[in-house]
């Protein structure tokens, strides 16, 4: 990748490391298909890869817009391996295509191996050694990952520390437990699971959740980390209530902090999102943008108001790998505080929508020959 256009930019420690790695950076709002987007060689890993800098409004003044959480794609060649490493950042993976195996261990401990196929999801325990193998000799494996990789680079400014810290997080990972990646998921409460491995995200049973409109939802805590595997589905001929609006102030971008960038990977469906600019709140005359999605589309919500629509003829299911473990850091036996709806990010009730929102949806249903199941606007 040519980094010369950033020669005038003051780089963060994370950006300097990315440049040293020669890692491709794709800065965009959405990727039409993560199955086909072209990747470049990531020499150190033995694979191809790209950092996905998903942002609503790219800035020419920075090399990488997201410095809290970010995401990337890797492609392991037939018969190849993502080389062994350990590090002081979390990773949670979704298998885009292919089959293979992951080996995980701590220094001087037994190695745990688990196999996976397309549509699986798993998380690497923090600072545990791991290597990822392609199980096919003829087809590549493609993995999509979410990570808080930028944070430790920017906090400590030392790649040596990030990759060679000797501390083991025994409260997160016990390599002597050979069921760590194979035991059944534990239901903690409504819409919340604990599991270190999901064999199929598409087939995972979800719980009803009417708060945001028709549909179902599930969050899964994985490997004791901050990230969760968030899966939502809504039926054909329906759409979600708008949400993520910020009253009075924008979400301040952070060059070094833990701002949580949320991107949606659509696993099924034929629809679109409407998205508003940061600061904006829906009202007559306030513009919004439309972004279409299909299976394999990845798009950011722009840390602003957005709304999901499924005028197609099949359910729309999407995956969000993001921060969201509200039990993180709790002592054994301690319960998380009762959830309170965040008043700083109100949702848009159907009755308060701009009239053109429902009109657009009805028209899209007609184009596809689908039937809207949305209740009449009051």
Counted residue by residue, the chain has a size of 378
Q: So what's the pLDDT on residue 253?
A: 45
Domain spans of the chain, in order of start: 4-164, 186-368
Say which residue the tokens 């949606």 belong to: 264
- Strand, helix or coil for residue 107: coil
* CA distance to 4, 191, 215, 220, per residue, from 206 (Å): 47, 7, 9, 11
- CB–CB of 225/126 below 8 Å? yes
Q: How far is 242 from 249, CA to CA, in rounded Å?
A: 18
Superfamily of domain 4-164: Jelly Rolls (2.60.120.10)
82's tokens: 């993502």
Alpha-helical regions (H) of the chain: 13-21, 150-156, 159-164, 355-368
Are 278 and 303 a contacting pair, CB within 8 Å?
yes
What local confidence, expressed as pLDDT, does residue 193 receive? Answer: 95
* pLDDT for residue 338: 61
Residue ranges, the chain, pLDDT below 70: 246-260, 329-345
Instruction: Locate 176 and state its tokens.
Output: 């002597």
Domain 186-368 has CATH 2.60.120.10: yes
- Matching CATH topology for 4-164 and 186-368? yes
- What pLDDT is recorded for position 59? 77
Please give the pLDDT value at position 86. 98
Q: Could you read off the pLDDT of 154-208 as tens digits, one per residue?
A: 999 999 999 999 999 999 999 999 999 999 999 999 999 999 999 999 999 999 9
| pTM assigned to the model | 0.93
């Amino acid at each position: 990748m040519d980094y010369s256009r950033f020669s005038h930019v003051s780089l963060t420690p994370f950006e300097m490391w990315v440049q040293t790695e020669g890692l491709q950076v794709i800065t965009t709002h959405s990727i039409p298909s993560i199955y086909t987007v072209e990747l470049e060689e990531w020499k150190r890993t033995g694979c191809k890869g790209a950092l996905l800098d998903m942002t609503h409004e790219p800035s020419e003044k920075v090399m990488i817009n997201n410095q809290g959480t970010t995401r990337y794609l890797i492609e392991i060649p037939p018969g190849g391996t993502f080389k062994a490493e350990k590090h002081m950042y979390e990773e949670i993976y979704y298998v885009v295509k292919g089959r293979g195996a992951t080996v995980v261990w701590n220094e001087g401990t037994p190695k745990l191996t688990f196999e996976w196929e397309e549509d699986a999801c798993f998380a690497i325990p923090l600072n545990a050694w791991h290597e990822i193998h392609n199980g096919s000799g003829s087809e590549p494996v493609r993995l999509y990952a979410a990570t808080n990789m930028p944070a430790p680079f920017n906090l400590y400014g030392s790649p040596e520390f990030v990759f060679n810290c000797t501390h083991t997080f025994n409260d997160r990972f016990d390599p002597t437990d050979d069921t760590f990646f194979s035991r059944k998921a534990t239901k903690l409460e409504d819409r919340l699971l604990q599991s270190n491995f999901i064999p199929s995200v598409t087939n995972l049973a979800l719980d009803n959740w009417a708060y945001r409109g028709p549909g179902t939802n599930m969050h899964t805590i994985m490997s004791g980390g901050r990230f969760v595997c968030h899966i939502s589905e809504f039926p054909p001929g329906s759409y979600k209530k708008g949400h993520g609006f910020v009253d009075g102030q924008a979400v301040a971008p952070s060059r070094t902090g833990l701002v949580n960038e949320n991107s949606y990977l659509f696993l099924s469906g034929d629809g679109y999102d409407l998205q508003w600019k940061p600061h904006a709140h829906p009202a007559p005359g306030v513009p919004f943008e439309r972004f279409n999605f299909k299976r394999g589309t990845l798009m950011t919500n722009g840390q602003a108001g957005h709304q999901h629509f499924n005028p197609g003829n099949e359910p729309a299911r999407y995956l969000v790998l993001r921060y969201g473990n509200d039990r993180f850091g709790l002592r054994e036996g301690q319960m998380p505080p009762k959830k309170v709806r965040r008043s700083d990010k109100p949702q848009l009730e159907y009755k308060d929508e701009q009239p053109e929102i429902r009109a657009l949806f009805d028209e899209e249903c007609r184009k596809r020959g689908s039937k809207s199941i949305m209740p009449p606007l009051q």
